[in-house]
Structure 1
């Protein structure tokens, strides 16, 4: 029988700070030093002095490190801290992301990769220029830059929050130091430094998460106890098939809403495309994606499991309600210090893992943003004499420094905002809907023209941002409330050792997961769950794009380059006439086959 043994708030926090020992600081600092050394190696011994090396690693990267780099750069601290907290407070619907990542992988392999390779581009924005025009390229690249400038401070803030939680050191002190490390090895070492630091940082993350899960099961009495307590507390909503668009998270929300968002983020996002193009051929890219899906799904499931373990641990003594922690996203650092604070090195390893995921994401974004800013905002204005490979590499390094400085400054804004996971998904969802709809329009709708794509992009972005702002306004003023699942504090007594089964509390048999909405005040679109923002933006982009294309005149399908259209949609295109060169090639092949046949007959 497992009993609760929780001290008062002040004593817990005091013990938490003491638990972060010199061995923990050594492990944390070692991770930062190793990252710097990787940057120095690729910056000074394997010089990245051309734009091709700086952005693509010479296009000779192996699929294994790139797959781990993809997984590391898309985990970030949001997954390590946000997902367990989401499961703890709202249930485990998030497990369905394992389904949507498979859908995204298939979509990418069969829809987008063939087009990107056949069109021989170096960026997703360049493809949009070929498919539509320059206006679309610059609009999408501008949106990409704006989205990532908004996203980077959140990436930085999350691990800084965790570090502050377990050490008591101010967020504002640790943020500049760690960000300097990331900016240094990214700007100096380029793409190869990013990939290889991602690889070893990801190894730290996986080891740490597995250690936390194993210790968590031991501390809470095993898998059966964790399952039973979460079932009683209503956390095991694996198949919540509620079709409502206002319910915060459901099976459909993740498998449909999040799939659309991840098509944008993992399929055609420039950061992903850059890594795809660093691999020499498409067969290796497919292997990379398959490995990425397996690793990514595995770490997501471990994060969901961590959330369930935390609930089993704090079922009758919620740290947030009892004011032991101040923010929902602090619960995992608190949990780690609670169960492993007396194990030398493990708290430090945990913080190193949180920072590793953040550094992986930040370095990937910095590298991609610097290349995008150079290609689309600086290069067009340079004279021919200044468009050298060496100048390009130098300018991108300067861009990395500037972007990093801006991101660190914006952390002051992020810390004033609410829950991390909804905030991030809301921001990225607005931009992702436009991006996802635009690429579907480009690759799968050959009759859509540039005017439709441009007007659709603005309509999609404006409508999605309006919905998000409206929803956040009503949430702030209490017109929309998302109640958490039952959280209790009856076990938070001084030196309490009361067994779980002796608490006199009856959990409800059903749990209403729909929000409380003041329908007289809230416009119907503002009630929509944040997880559907991308779907909404995608639908607006495609519908408006098609309507405007129809009004202004659909593309003549005879003039559409089939290499710019996904192979799955080639059936709608007219058959291309065979050129004289192709006829000669066919004739030569037929003659060779005929000669081979005669030779085989003579030998027989």
Structure 2
């Protein structure tokens, strides 16, 4: 059941090559400055950066999760990639022209510039750091369980190998090592997934046969145009999920924006997104096809519904398929294992590089202890930060291995933070009249409410029902299961662990049913709620506390059309806070009521003549005369 010598050699070469790339760039850049270490001196080319951006967001969980989604639920989720492509183009057209000219290292410097609030900037950074470290642990742990069945190595050992490898080349070589290692790993990932698609298609009689089998098994669905927000997936829900995923990942997340900050011009920065969008669509397409290949293979003998197996999560079917099918061809399974390792390494190294940038730029750079350091010495400090971040990531990975499904909850809650962050940036870019208080309250309240919704979903929703499965073919050994096939033991407790740890990128949801509560809404809309709540609360708080005036902000930080509207609309500029207005009017009303009450209690003080003249005033005037 283990890998052959050829397989082990192939994935070992992959690991060694990744480390060698980092060491090479580390030797070349041994005296690199912070700008060179974190952003490659802002002169890197668009295409390698795009490849790095693409694989930095496609983890091993993506490979296993998306393939499992196609296997068990069909192709509706594929539409998410359309939303991702649209969102990446939107980021390139709208956000990059504002962000890139600011020449930032940390994306969240923009928040401080726009709202003149260092506290708000650091709050966003802290959330990103916490999410980044937990995400590092998450992407290290689940694949390590699957790799245990490929390599025979213990879970802890797999976590250590993957974490240590990417820590070494990330710490030595900086962003250049990460980017060029990602390019190599992108090639490995494509080849590894294609191994499933090609080998499986050949065994099933061609890709057209695979597609036809999936079609008759009700797996092909793209245009469910229902507007019902309570269903698990539809065209609109998946497109929305993809759009907000792109905005959160490529627009307001340091790990990816750091890629286009590393280019030499605005045009090249935009092309990073365009290239990455095309590469993402292609890579996700072959991953999804791999899921359909697995369905065609197991359509008459589904392992998920086998009562004797621990396999319950569709993601894990990938492991069974590779061990049963790819091991028949020497080297094939080794290539796939290398792809899994590559996916983990690319994602972890991207996180380490971005977290170092945040820690240095947003917290450590301004400390007095570093003020007298040379640029080269500051670069050395950053290498130490990457190394320590890698160690901390390893600790999180090992800790997650003891948490089971508990960490799954934490990871889902972390996903609830993306909506509020999108909302905060949209407020900053498109609502110039909104002040810092409005933005801060909107951000904080949207986080609280979004977490509340997600936690409610986790505790109330049941796993979604799979599409029809069959085990009729298991009664008679199918042609592809001959006596020479490897007999697999999928009834071990390790697979029970995998079912609690390996989570697809699609959360578990109820099918459409009678439940119409807030918690029953599709998970695809979670980021939407966070974004809307942030914007609405920011508008309300600003209306109460008073809007900005044009001189309060730099118009370069705001979208052009929004600034033009702001300048033309007097009612949006520096209005008196409603609280102050209310208190002033209340005070005037109280004074008026007080005078009226006094006059009523002393009627002799006010004597009017028949023609309406105040006789008291006349008398006083005569006395003065």
Do these two structures clear the TM 0.5 threshold for a shared fold by scoring above it? Answer: yes
**Is the 8 Å Cα contact of residues 120 and 440 (structure 2) preserved in structure 1?**
yes
| 1:42-441 alignment, distance < 5 Å | 42-47=25-30, 49-132=32-115, 133-322=117-306, 323-324=308-309, 326=311, 327-383=313-369, 385-412=371-398, 414-415=400-401, 416-417=403-404, 426-441=412-427
Instruction: Give the equivalent residue in structure 2 for 1:490.
Output: 472
Which stretch shows the higher mean deviation, 290-299 or 378-387?
Answer: 378-387
Which of 404, 425, 440 in structure 2 is aligned with 1:454? Answer: 440
Helix, strand or coil for the counterpart of 1:554? coil
Provide the rounded CA distance (Å) in 2 between the counterparts of 1:329 and 1:403: 29
Provide the rounded CA distance (Å) in 2 between the counterparts of 1:568 and 1:151: 37
Provide the rounded CA distance (Å) in 2 between the counterparts of 1:221 and 1:277: 47
Displacement, 1:347?
A: 0.6
Instruction: Give the equivalent residue in structure 1 for 2:574.
Output: none
Provide the rounded CA distance (Å) in 2 between the counterparts of 1:116 and 1:400: 25
Provide the rounded CA distance (Å) in 1 between the counterparts of 2:92 and 2:17: 34
Q: 1:532 and 2:525 equivalent?
A: yes
Number of residue pairs matched? Answer: 538
**Is the 8 Å Cα contact of residues 457 and 541 (structure 1) preserved in structure 2?**
yes
Give CA deviations for 1:110-132 in whole Å, capped at 9, x if unaligned: 22111113333222111110001
Instruction: Give the equivalent residue in structure 1 for 2:16.
Output: 33
Helix, strand or coil for the counterpart of 1:180? helix
Displacement, 1:188?
A: 1.1
Helix, strand or coil for the counterpart of 2:317? helix
Displacement, 1:107?
A: 1.5
Provide the rounded CA distance (Å) in 2 between the counterparts of 1:413 and 1:87: 31
**Is the 8 Å Cα contact of residues 258 and 532 (structure 1) preserved in structure 2?**
no
Q: What residue ranges of structure 1 are gaps of 5+ in the alignment?
A: 1-15, 500-512, 576-604
Which stretch shows the higher mean deviation, 326-335 or 278-287?
Answer: 326-335
Displacement, 1:206?
A: 1.3
Provide the rounded CA distance (Å) in 1 between the counterparts of 2:157 and 2:469: 33
Provide the rounded CA distance (Å) in 2 between the counterparts of 1:488 and 1:556: 66
Instruction: Give the equivalent residue in structure 2 for 1:561.
Output: 554
**Is the 8 Å Cα contact of residues 97 and 254 (structure 1) preserved in structure 2?**
yes
Displacement, 1:309?
A: 1.4
Which stretch shows the higher mean deviation, 237-246 or 442-451?
Answer: 237-246
Displacement, 1:427?
A: 4.0
Which stretch shows the higher mean deviation, 196-205 or 328-337?
Answer: 328-337
**Is the 8 Å Cα contact of residues 84 and 242 (structure 2) preserved in structure 1?**
no
Give CA deviations for 1:14-61 in whole Å, capped at 9, x if unaligned: xx33xx111111111111111111111111233253211110011110
Helix, strand or coil for the counterpart of 2:365? helix
Distance 1:48 1:233, change over 3 A: farther
Which stretch shows the higher mean deviation, 71-80 or 52-61?
Answer: 71-80
Q: What residue ranges of structure 2 are gaps of 5+ in the alignment?
A: 482-508, 569-625
Helix, strand or coil for the counterpart of 2:262? coil
Which of 511, 515, 533 in structure 1 is aligned with 2:511? Answer: 515
Provide the rounded CA distance (Å) in 2 between the counterparts of 1:235 and 1:419: 31
Instruction: Give the equivalent residue in structure 2 for 1:24.
Output: 7
TM-score (norm 1): 0.84
Displacement, 1:204?
A: 1.0
Instruction: Give the equivalent residue in structure 2 for 1:591.
Output: none
Displacement, 1:75?
A: 1.0
Provide the rounded CA distance (Å) in 1 between the counterparts of 2:370 and 2:342: 40
**Is the 8 Å Cα contact of residues 510 and 520 (structure 2) preserved in structure 1?**
no
**Is the 8 Å Cα contact of residues 15 and 165 (structure 2) preserved in structure 1?**
yes
Helix, strand or coil for the counterpart of 2:290? helix
Helix, strand or coil for the counterpart of 1:36? helix
**Is the 8 Å Cα contact of residues 172 and 383 (structure 2) preserved in structure 1?**
yes
Which stretch shows the higher mean deviation, 190-199 or 200-209?
Answer: 200-209
Provide the rounded CA distance (Å) in 1 between the counterparts of 2:31 and 2:81: 36
Instruction: Give the equivalent residue in structure 2 for 1:583.
Output: none
Distance 1:552 1:352, change over 3 A: same
Which stretch shows the higher mean deviation, 239-248 or 316-325?
Answer: 316-325
Quick check: which has more Rg, 1 or 2? 2
Distance 1:23 1:48, change over 3 A: farther
Q: Relative contact order (alpha carbons < 8 A, sep ≥ 6): 1 or 2 greater? A: 1
Displacement, 1:492?
A: 2.3
**Is the 8 Å Cα contact of residues 58 and 278 (structure 1) preserved in structure 2?**
yes
Displacement, 1:496?
A: 4.5
Provide the rounded CA distance (Å) in 1 between the counterparts of 2:533 and 2:283: 33
**Is the 8 Å Cα contact of residues 433 and 549 (structure 2) preserved in structure 1?**
yes
Which stretch shows the higher mean deviation, 46-55 or 325-334?
Answer: 325-334
Distance 1:405 1:550, change over 3 A: same
**Is the 8 Å Cα contact of residues 149 and 407 (structure 1) preserved in structure 2?**
yes
Provide the rounded CA distance (Å) in 1 between the counterparts of 2:89 and 2:564: 20
Displacement, 1:442?
A: 0.5
